[in-house]
Amino acid sequence: MVAYNYIFAFLLLALFITIGEGKNVLFMPVDDLRPEMLEAYDQKYIHTPNLDRLAKESFVFQRAYCQHAVCIPSRNSFMTGRRPDTTHVWIGFGNANFRVTGPDWISLPEHFKKNGYTTLGGGKTFHPNSPPNWDEPKSWSQDQPYFPFSLAKCPNTTTAHKLGAYVADIDTWCPLDEKEYPDSYHYDWQLANHTIHTLKYLKDKGGPWFVAPEPIPIEIQQSIRHAYYASVSWVDSQIGRVLQALDDMSLADDTLVVLFGDHGFQLGEHDSWAKMTNWELAVRVPLIIRAPWKPASAGKRSHAFVELVDLYRTISELVGAPSPGDDIEGVSFASLFDSPDLNAHEAALALNKTPAAYSQYTRCLKSIDAPKQWDNNSCSETSKNKFMGYSVRVPNWRYTAWMEWDDSRLKAKWESEPYAVELYDHHKSDGADGTENDFNQCEIENVADKNPEVVKELQNQLKSFFN
């Protein structure tokens, strides 16, 4: 039998363990995972039995969003509880990692470590080298070495496929014969195996813990989707092994399980592939949280607007850890687990916030006057004509404003008008019989010119929030 090894989605694991009274946490960020599974997000064509079982026992968030749709800034954000404009980690320019901006900032695992937790990490929790050495020893206890992330490559280059001629090795996929390349060949299997052994060590050591795991021509398009779907099923199988270990060790009842994608992913929608946009499919992520001691939330879906930057405060509150400092951004949504049926507006009122989620992405134009000026618009430190696209998702709308960037102040020129704007109507997807999980019906037409009052209102909201 031939199995697809698609090197876009990885199971990522990190471990935070407490000595003493308290709850455990299994924290699982999955690389490039979009909300595409049966039980949680109504997708019927990917085999994900373990994620489906988890969703039936969990609180599933339908409107969860990352803050920057690419790995480095997204992970620097949710692992510190700070937005990209605070970390100064963006894609293409800015600082290499949050430690450059805030050398003494306390990361999420470091917060648990400083409060009596043993924190053991593995996989792609932080992005490789951002910060260096997986932020050891600051973020991680030294009971055992960090289990580093390792990039898998297609062993047979003649069967490897790429999205383009100038992409990294990670953007490849190939079919592998299971007899020649068994499960143990793959990094994700090795990481899951390491995590199971670590759980055994922690159970024997005693005390609660926190674990975080971290997957054109039409025929090529079909191949890409086939490979992506296969990788999601593969990651599902490895997550299943870890969840089964929790059951076998009688740890599940006292363990908070947090599974999410570090950002979304596009599979040809808008003629766009991968992430790296402000569109819904790039910034919306799956978020599934199982808290067995919050029975009202089990099997429920929430339409509250939540963000990955909220996880730092939320996890701390759910497991009874000390509250982080006032410098941590984001809002704890832990209270929603006791009131899981609130709609988006009711949930926002309960959390004392606006029902909204904010994201951003960089673009650098080669020339303001050039035709097709938005083509080939990636950024570097030396780029001119830098722009930051700030995006807000609210009930019924997504609005994005492309603001000129001021390098000297490291912020957008909010005193100026946007260079370009986008407005997308989500009334259909957000309705009572919403189509939010129909990815082919999402953000097709920019309706900014037809709705100037909505543009004005949401521009003011963006400016007030980010300025």
* Domains in the chain, number: 2
Residues 381 and 325 both lie in one domain: no
The CA distance from 450 to 8, in Å, is 38
The CA distance from 201 to 79, in Å, is 25
pLDDT at position 307 is 98
Residues 310 and 363 both lie in one domain: no
Of 334, 350, 366, which one is at a domain's C-terminal end?
Answer: 350
The CA distance from 437 to 421, in Å, is 25
> What letter does residue 123 receive in the DSSP assignment?
S
The two beta strands, 284-290 and 59-65, are antiparallel
Residues 314 and 427 both lie in one domain: no
Q: How many CA atoms does the CB half-sphere of 124 hold within 13 Å?
A: 24
249: which 2 tokens? 């060790």
CB 314 within 8 A of CB 332: yes
Residues 18 and 74 both lie in one domain: yes
The CA distance from 338 to 351, in Å, is 13
pLDDT at position 267 is 84
For the entire predicted model, the pTM comes to: 0.91
Ranges assigned E (strand) in 200-356: 209-211, 255-261, 266-267, 273-274, 284-290, 300-307
Of 299, 333, 350, which one is at a domain's C-terminal end?
Answer: 350
> In CATH, what number is assigned to the domain containing residue 21?
3.40.720.10
Closest alpha carbon to 335 in 351, 319, 313: 351
The CA distance from 377 to 58, in Å, is 40
The CA distance from 158 to 165, in Å, is 15
Q: Which domain holds residue 411?
A: 357-466
Q: Give the containing element (helix H, strand E) for 61.
A: strand 59-65
Residues 365 and 327 both lie in one domain: no
Residue the block writes with tokens 């090197």: 7
The CA distance from 73 to 71, in Å, is 6
The CA distance from 66 to 286, in Å, is 10
Residues 275 and 329 both lie in one domain: yes
pLDDT at position 17 is 46
pLDDT at position 455 is 98
**In 364-409, where does DSSP find H-type helix?**
none
CB 257 within 8 A of CB 290: yes
Residues 274 and 331 both lie in one domain: yes
Residues 49 and 146 both lie in one domain: yes
The CA distance from 429 to 456, in Å, is 22
The CA distance from 400 to 422, in Å, is 5
Of 311, 334, 350, which one is at a domain's C-terminal end?
Answer: 350
CB 24 within 8 A of CB 208: yes
Residues 416 and 435 both lie in one domain: yes
Residues in the chain: 467
DSSP string, 9-28: --B--EEEEESSSS-EEEEE
φ, ψ of residue 420 to 5 degrees: the values are -155, 155
Q: How far is CA 279 from CA 39, 64, 255, in A?
A: 24, 13, 34
Per-residue pLDDT of the chain (467 residues; tens, 9 = 90+): 344 433 333 334 444 444 445 788 888 898 889 998 878 898 888 899 999 999 999 999 999 999 999 999 999 999 999 999 999 999 888 899 999 999 999 999 999 888 888 788 888 889 888 899 999 999 998 888 888 876 666 766 555 555 544 344 555 667 777 788 888 887 788 888 888 888 888 788 776 565 566 545 555 667 778 888 888 898 899 999 999 999 999 989 999 999 999 999 888 887 778 888 999 999 999 999 999 999 999 999 999 999 999 999 999 999 999 999 999 999 999 999 999 999 999 999 999 999 999 999 998 887 676 666 667 787 877 777 899 999 999 999 999 999 999 989 999 999 999 999 999 999 988 866 555 677 777 898 999 999 999 999 999 999 999 98
- Computed over its alpha carbons, how large is the radius of gyration of the chain? 21
pLDDT at position 168 is 46
Q: How far is CA 50 from CA 96, 212, 235, 315, in A?
A: 36, 17, 10, 22
343: which 2 tokens? 């709609």
Residues 331 and 286 both lie in one domain: yes
> Three-class SS of residue 178?
coil
The CA distance from 207 to 117, in Å, is 9
62: which 2 tokens? 């339908």
Ranges assigned E (strand) in 178-326: 209-211, 255-261, 266-267, 273-274, 284-290, 300-307
Residues 313 and 461 both lie in one domain: no
Residue the block writes with tokens 């709705």: 451
pLDDT at position 156 is 60
> Three-class SS of residue 55?
helix
25: which 2 tokens? 């946490």
> Three-class SS of residue 6?
strand
The CA distance from 190 to 358, in Å, is 36
Residues 291 and 370 both lie in one domain: no
